[in-house]
Structure 1
Amino acid sequence: MQAVIGSVTVECVVGDITAQADVDAVVNAANAELLPGGGVAGAIHAAAGPELAAECRPLAPIRPGDAVITSGQRLPNTHIIHCLGPVYGRDEPAAALLAECYRNALHLAEEHRLGRISFPALSTGAFGYPMAAAAEVALRTLAEEAQRLHYVRLIRLVLANEGAYRVHAEALSRCAPMT
């Protein structure tokens, strides 16, 4: 499913965030220390290779809502944008911090003149953010930010399964006209 907002295409797909060879940057659902972990962070670090942890070390720690950028290392992408989403029920205000993750990632993409970016469903795994609430924050924020983007032309949400896809596609349909 996709929508066009201004000159930006926003799409939802089921897939593997590390296998998005047609985008300039993938977003990592990072931990504060930017270390390999489970879930998205573990998959990205495994695919990118051990050099990624070395490149991340001087950038850590980051706080909820923050984003930093590194090279793509062994991934097919030129960059990885690392975001620390809020832990649901602990980091407050959770919705504002989650929205900041998406905004800050897009600002880094713009700063580096990247045209295509893929996001996972930030904070919905081990950080416990309810999928439907996180999808609303994500798609509303992306729709708002799309109006201000000069370089980014594709925003892809790469979801782990059909259930996550349906929730995000519904949120996208509420936030933007379908194509």
Structure 2
Amino acid sequence: MTTITDNGRGGRRMPAWLTRVARVLTAVELTIGVAALVLIFALVLVQAAQRYLPIDGWPWSGELARFCLVWLTFVLAGVLVTNDSHIAIEMIDLVPGDLVRRVVRVVSCLIVALIGVALCAEAWELWQTQDMLKSPAMRMPMSWLYGISMIGFVSVVVRSLIAAVDYAVHGVPEPTYDDLATHEMPTA
């Protein structure tokens, strides 16, 4: 049985199972992102404290903070696609006529998915070939950096394709008052 539920995006509707899967994936990705952000915060505080304490510093703390920033960025990219918060040209939403808006949104989602596929392929290649390289301070295999980033790239591809199908089938929601308020034309 496939029921249709509102996913909170201007009356657009998705199957209930797809909405549940998206929520679970979003929760997992946000958990990884929050953990990376908390770890970055803690590591930066440790680095600041090390400067003023008479102890030897931990050189791996800065390296891990940089890796966490990379993971945070890529793992949450799929969430941005689902929430329609990624980089987009929103002026097309103000164009009258559903067909133009629909075509532009579908094409843009397919382009994002295509770029995500290219990033997945490159991350896969780096993940397979960079295991022999180790990070300078932590001695972490560099393949881990690319493997965790690949989670975000796969998420971007899947979520972009779902969004493209959603726009193609259900259309683009009409701009809300908030959308129109941010795009006011200057008066002469």
RCO comparison, higher one (Cα < 8 Å, 6+): 1
Q: Which TM-score applies when normalising by structure 1?
A: 0.29
Comparing both structures, which one devotes a greater share of its residues to helix?
2
Q: Which TM-score applies when normalising by structure 2?
A: 0.28
